[in-house]
Amino acid sequence: MFVEVPFEALSEEALNGLIEEFVTRDGTDYGAKEHTLEEKKDAIKRQLRSGHVVIVFDPEAQSANIIKRDQLE
């Protein structure tokens, strides 16, 4: 069971760290065009603000992740 965490509740440092870890994971695919790390981070921030993706915390695993909103339901 995940707990949704509002991105606004995180410090800027924690949010940036989580986003950077997310966009640099193996298997993260952004299509045919290569994007810089900053472009990838900015894209995730836009998706968080628009609500397309959310931050979730798994209390059992003690870990946070970024998922598509529809994965929550």
Question: Which pLDDT score is estimated for 29?
Answer: 59
Residue 4 parent element (H or E): strand 3-5
Query: What average pLDDT does this structure show over 6-22?
Result: 96
Has residue 21 got a pLDDT over 70? Answer: yes
Check: pTM over 0.75? Answer yes or no. yes
CATH number of 3-25+36-72: 1.10.10.610
Question: Which pLDDT score is estimated for 28?
Answer: 57
The CA-to-CA distance between both ends of the chain, in Å, stands at 11
* DSSP codes joined into one string, 12-24: HHHHHHHHHHHHT
CB 44 within 8 A of CB 23: yes
What are the domain boundaries of the chain?
A: 3-25+36-72
Q: For residues 37 and 29, which has the higher predicted lDDT (pLDDT)? A: 37
